[in-house]
Amino acid sequence: MFKLAPSILSADFSELGRQVALIEEGGADLIHVDVMDGHFVPNISFGAAVMKSVKDGTKLNFDVHLMIENPDSYVEDFLTDKTEYITVHQEACRHLHRTVAHIKSLGVKAGVSVNPATPIETLTEILADVDLVLIMSVNPGFGGQKFIDAGIDKVRRLAALREKTGRKFLIEVDGGVNLQNAAALAEAGADILVAGSAVFGAEDVVARTREFKTI
């Protein structure tokens, strides 16, 4: 059974607290926080203040995804008592091991993400140190993109590598996840699925969250 982490990038920001309450009511496991800087990806989303504004109104923990340059300079901004994961991009970190160690030194679980064109083999030397690997199944920068089908095989290969090496990291998938591909991703080995528009774009967010959780 996978965990569901709806991305608030696709939420209605005019009533963000209410939107978070709806996914919590529906049984979501985490709040996925997509942070974009307009440099590493061609879009700007929001910063730590927006995330912290909903902290006291929910029991859900934060799954922070930093799609930014120089993440070491900002990871501490996203520390709260509900921050469970902070994930950085392999492509954005010149010294990835140092960045991962920095995150873990703050008492937070560390994740590393790879873009669709980045082979999972580039992560071989860091897998022993991370708690989570995030596979991007769209090119990062915008919500609502079409799922890249090759992402399923990438998850399958990463799951096989995890079993072969005996590592304990979780596999997360972000980008174009919906009710039609969620089962295939879970079967391939995904532990956490990020869904944005597929959840918050529904007429009934609570019902849609529950639909995901029954897959």
3-state DSSP call for residue 119? coil
How far apart (Å, rounded) are the C-alpha atoms in residues 201 and 215?
Answer: 19
> 133 phi and psi, to 5 degrees?
-120, 125
How far apart (Å, rounded) are the C-alpha atoms in residues 175 and 194?
Answer: 7
Is there a contact between 6 and 192 (Cβ–Cβ < 8 Å)? no
Q: Which of 29, 37, 63, 174 is catalytic?
A: 174
112 alpha-carbon distance from chain centroid:
10
Is 129 labeled as catalytic in the residue annotation? no
Q: Which residues of 144-165 are buried (b: 16+ CB within 10 A; e: fewer)?
A: eeebbeebbebbbbbbebbeee
How many other C-beta atoms lie within 10 A of the C-beta of residue 121? 11
Residue 25: what residue type? E
97 in the Ramachandran plot: left (φ > 0), alpha (ψ -120 to 50) or beta? alpha
Helix (H) or strand (E) holding 172: strand 170-174
Is 153 labeled as catalytic in the residue annotation? no
Q: Which of 34, 37, 63, 191 is catalytic?
A: 34
Known catalytic residues? 34, 174
